[in-house]
Amino acid sequence: MNYLLPTEWTTTFIPLQDKCPVSPFHLIQDMYQHDTGVGLWDYFSEFSTDPIGAASLAQVHLATIRETGRKVAVKVQHPELEAFVPLDVALTKYTFSTLKRFFPEYDLEWLSSEVEISLPKELDFQEEAKNAARMRAHFDAHAPELPLVIPEVLWAKKRILVMACESGNRPDDLEYLDRNDIDRDEVSATMARIFNEMIFGDGAPLHCDPHGGNIAIRKNTSRRGLGRGPNFDIILYDHGLYRDIPLDLRRSYAKMWLSVIDGDMKSMRKYAHEVAGIEDKDFPLFASAITGRDYSVVSTEGSILKNRSSNEQKSMSSQLQEGLIVDLVQLLARVPRIILLILKTNDLTRSLDENLHTSQGPIRSFLILARFCTRTVFLEQVGEDPRAGFASLATTRCPPACGLVGVHEG
């Protein structure tokens, strides 16, 4: 939401991604002994007492396996969570229900319901291990050209996860990118391809917590080969919360975005209703929420492909002050949860693109998005006629934005 909220707000919350309070080391040792039946120092010859990162649910330590000498990263849940999570969930429900009682316009009860569903999944690291393996298998099979690294999980208990040590820098660390001759535009494009594959890829899982603390970048010249391909890896952490996007929703979502790119408001309204149940009165706000642009820009053909102007930024900020945030909260309460998670992914790639100060602006990201959407629509139409093949692409009815796939992305 960087395009709506003041910079002072968004930058203040960044440390919550990987610099939360840490659990004392003696509690980590006790939990390891309890959960595995062996002492921590019996399995590890080295174990950093200070974590390299700490989030709200867990912290990560560097360690060395005694038997093999392998360097690993050990993710451990905060030991006291087990006792406090039920209380936290109850307090969250009470807080939001009380807020709604006194301020009906701020209905956030859906958020407490989502926490109640998602938190148990995030607290089971064995599920996270399965999710990570599934994501790696999907990209190995369907997009092996992308420089995505999913750390291999060696073993996992419910509160402990031991994985390969794959380290890097935050993707918005511009000094690191420039020092290592990593092209910012290429980073942005690669991120867009990775997350669009999660949304539109056949059978792909969606990583539902894609913030800057869960993504790292590192230089890797071995990928460059004969002058082609990126010279970096994108490392994706924290696979505790995944969702699957139903096929029908994925198809309607693709058509909606092609309508956005075309500036076809009639079709966009149709698919916004199919995707999220959006009525006409809420459509302008929804259109702005999914694009991060003022509605006057969204509704003007071709304008969405241009950079956001200072006047547009001021317009959106003033609308926020005039009550837009209340309308947005009410809208989010009515939108299906899976759509909120997809929008969160879109928000990440859009925010990253702006933080990287790329030279090509939003048009390249839209070209990549259009390619994935067009593929989804085409495969749907081919599937309706089993005799059809890729040779039928020229005669397949597709939204006008399909023409964008012929434009060079790189």
49-61 confidence digits (pLDDT tens): 999 988 889 999 9
pTM: 0.84
Does residue 6 belong to any structural domain of this protein? no
E-strand ranges in 199-331 read 205-207, 215-219, 232-236, 242-244
d(C-alpha 139, C-alpha 16), whole Å: 29
Does residue 286 belong to any structural domain of this protein? yes
Does residue 28 belong to any structural domain of this protein? yes
DSSP conformation class of 169: B
Does residue 230 belong to any structural domain of this protein? yes
For residues 283 and 221, membership in a common domain is answered with no
Looking at residue 156, its pLDDT comes to: 98
For residues 252 and 380, membership in a common domain is answered with yes
pLDDT tens readout for residues 89-138? 788 887 888 888 887 777 777 777 777 888 888 999 999 999 999 999 99
Of the residues 102, 122, 142, the one at which a domain ends: 122
The b/e string for 286-303 (b: 16+ C-beta within 10 A; e otherwise) is bbbbbbbbbbebbbeeee
Does residue 382 belong to any structural domain of this protein? yes
For residues 75 and 91, membership in a common domain is answered with no
Looking at residue 394, its pLDDT comes to: 39
For residues 205 and 173, membership in a common domain is answered with yes
Looking at residue 193, its pLDDT comes to: 95
Give residue 370's domain range. 247-406
E-strand ranges in 187-344 read 205-207, 215-219, 232-236, 242-244
Does residue 313 belong to any structural domain of this protein? yes
Using a pLDDT cut of 90, give the percent of the chain over it: 50
For residues 32 and 87, membership in a common domain is answered with no
For residues 278 and 186, membership in a common domain is answered with no
Which candidate in 18, 172, 209, 294 is catalytic? 209
Q: Which two tokens stand for residue 242?
A: 């995944």
In terms of pLDDT, which residue wins out, 299 or 342?
342
Does residue 142 belong to any structural domain of this protein? no
Q: Is 209 a residue of the active site?
A: yes
d(C-alpha 346, C-alpha 365), whole Å: 11
For residues 262 and 315, membership in a common domain is answered with yes
For residues 395 and 257, membership in a common domain is answered with yes
Q: Is residue 98 classed exposed, middle or buried when 0-12, 13-18 and 19+ CB atoms within 10 A define those classes?
A: exposed
d(C-alpha 184, C-alpha 216), whole Å: 14
Work out how many domains the chain is built from and give that number.
4
For residues 95 and 67, membership in a common domain is answered with no
In terms of pLDDT, which residue wins out, 83 or 26?
26
d(C-alpha 9, C-alpha 2), whole Å: 9
DSSP conformation class of 183: -
Residue type, 214: N
Hey, how many other C-beta atoms are within 10 angstroms of the C-beta on 183?
A: 17
Residue type, 121: K
pLDDT at 358 over 80: yes
How many CA atoms within 13 Å lie on the side-chain side of 299? 11
pLDDT tens readout for residues 143-186? 999 999 999 999 999 999 999 999 999 998 999 999 999 999 99
For residues 91 and 187, membership in a common domain is answered with no
> Reduced to 3 states, what is the DSSP secondary structure of residue 19?
strand
Q: Which residues contact 86 (CB under 8 A, 6 or more apart)?
A: none
pLDDT at 399 over 80: no
Does residue 274 belong to any structural domain of this protein? yes
For residues 283 and 390, membership in a common domain is answered with yes
Of the residues 243, 261, 291, the one at which a domain ends: 243
Q: Is residue 37 classed exposed, middle or buried when 0-12, 13-18 and 19+ CB atoms within 10 A define those classes?
A: exposed
For residues 310 and 173, membership in a common domain is answered with no
Of the residues 203, 225, 243, the one at which a domain ends: 243
Looking at residue 395, its pLDDT comes to: 40
* pLDDT band at residue 19 using 50, 70 and 90 as cut-offs: low
